[in-house]
Amino acid sequence: MGPLFPNGLISGDWNLVIAVFIGFGFGFLLEASGFSSSRNLAGVFYGYNFVVLRVFFTAVIVAMVGLLYFNYFGWLDLSKIFILPTFLPSMIVGGVVMGLGFIIGGFCPGTSFTAIVIGKLDALVFAVGLFIGIFLFAEVFPYIEHFYYSGNLGHVTLTDVTGISAYWWAFGFTVIALSAFWASWLIEKKVRKRIKEYKF
């Protein structure tokens, strides 16, 4: 049955309308969870606020397990879904650059948008930076095009690369997530003793 759009069960136009509703849910959950504050987001790197870890990891394991369930029951054909491709060198550099941007700017693109609508000027400036960054990328693109497309492993999954089944990965992620939740609870207790304010 699923995925509906690739299987032709809903039209392209409806897919776009549904996209708005999905974005609505995503934006709501992000802001409601506190991702609209750069100080909350940066907290995971200094031990005073682990909201990023808790929401992110929970979402990943729920989605992983859910997708496997849907696939197992035949409701969803996992071979028809989009898997992010892997371009080894450029994505490694991209990850490092984004991490640096995270610790300096305190936002990622999506969270900055949720912060803009609640009035944060730093988020607006961050978003302007996004435009500039993409523009700069486009300008240097001719010089880095070869690097950008190098190391193309294709749309590989963890299973393709490691041979370990998705079920084990989902299980492994869940174990790591639960350990991380417990560890972060301990760290947070210690760090928050030292600070006066941790909810912004």
The nearest distance, CB 175 to another protein, in angstroms, is 15
Of 58, 172, 174, 188, the one binding another protein (CB under 8 A) is: 58
Judged by CB under 8 A, the residue of 72, 73, 102, 149 near another protein is 102
- Residue 21, classed as helix, strand or coil, is helix
Token pair 């999905």 is at which residue?
22
Restricted to residues 62-101, the positions that interact with another protein (CB under 8 A) are: 62-64, 66-67, 70, 75-76, 80-87, 90-101
CB of residue 87 vs another protein: minimum separation in angstroms? 7
- For 107, 151, 191, the CA distances from 127, given in Å and listed in that order, are 9, 30, 31
State both tokens at 135. 């523009």
Q: State the number of CA atoms in the 13 A half-sphere of 50 facing the CB.
A: 19
**Exactly one of 39, 171, 174, 180 binds another protein (CB under 8 A); which one?**
39
Shortest distance in whole angstroms from residue 139 CB to another protein: 8
Instruction: Give CA–CA dist 126/151, Å, rounded.
Output: 31
Least separation in angstroms between CB 186 and another protein: 16
In the bound state with another protein, the residue whose beta carbon lies nearer, of 17 and 186, is 17
Report the distance separating Cα 2 and Cα 7, nearest Å: 7
Q: What is the rounded distance in angstroms from the CA atom of residue 63 to the CA atom of residue 68? A: 8
Taking residue 166's Cβ as centre, other Cβ atoms within 10 Å add up to 15
CB 2 within 8 A of CB 74: no
The verdict on 190 binding another protein (CB under 8 A) reads no
Contact between 187 and another protein (CB under 8 A)?
no
Looking at beta carbons only, is 22 or 175 nearer to another protein? 22
* Own/partner pairs, 43-46, CB within 8 angstroms, 24+ separation: 43/198, 44/184, 45/103, 46/191
Give the nearest distance from C-beta 115 to another protein in angstroms.
8
Which residue among 11, 146, 149, 198 contacts another protein (CB under 8 A)? Answer: 198
Nearest distance from residue 183's CB to another protein, in Å? 14
List the interface residues with another protein, window 116-155 (CB under 8 A): 116-138, 141-142, 145, 148, 153, 155
